[in-house]
Amino acid sequence: GDSVTQMEGPVTLSEEAFLTINCTYTATGYPSLFWYVQYPGEGLQLLLKATKADDKGSNKGFEATYRKETTSFHLEKGSVQVSDSAVYFCALSDLRGSTLGRLYFGRGTQLTVWP
């Protein structure tokens, strides 16, 4: 079945460091891919998305490229800030399976950025 695997955290970085959070997926069809962010005690916010192979999603300095050949959607940011500290979730939506349109989430990766 469909699934998402994220790198386990926690990830701890100094301010201005480079961030990569790995995400790989398994899907029977052609999924849309998403990154969501969750700040403490809050709901999830959509960070970026990509709907087809080679698409690059970007927002607030974060980027992720849909790589069909490696079934990956790694999240990157060139210079993190303390305010980026949060939990990041990778997710996929597979529109060709019997479970039309539902999202499958990874377990989340906790990021802490120190000043």
Partner 1 sequence: DGGITQSPKYLFRKEGQNVTLSCEQNLNHDAMYWYRQDPGQGLRLIYYSQIVNDFQKGDIAEGYSVSREKKESFPLTVTSAQKNPTAFYLCASSIDMDRGRDEQYFGPGTRLTVT
Enumerate binding residues for partner 1 (CB under 8 A). 32, 34, 36, 41-46, 49, 51, 89, 93, 95, 100-103, 105-108
Angle, CA of 83, 38 and 22, to the nearest 5°: 90
Cβ-based nearer residue to partner 1, 66 or 93: 93
Cβ-based nearer residue to partner 1, 17 or 105: 105
User: Please, which residues bridge with residue 72 across strands?
Assistant: 24, 67
The least CB distance from residue 89 to partner 1, in Å, is: 7
Cβ-based nearer residue to partner 1, 101 or 115: 101
Interacting residues of 73 by C-beta distance below 8 A, sequence separation 6+: 23, 24, 25, 33, 35, 50, 64, 65, 66, 67, 90
The least CB distance from residue 82 to partner 1, in Å, is: 22
Q: How far apart, in whole angstroms, are the C-alpha atoms of residue 69 and residue 52?
A: 12
The least CB distance from residue 8 to partner 1, in Å, is: 9
Cβ-based nearer residue to partner 1, 8 or 15: 8
Residue 22's nearest CA partner among 93, 88, 78, 69 is 88
The least CB distance from residue 16 to partner 1, in Å, is: 29
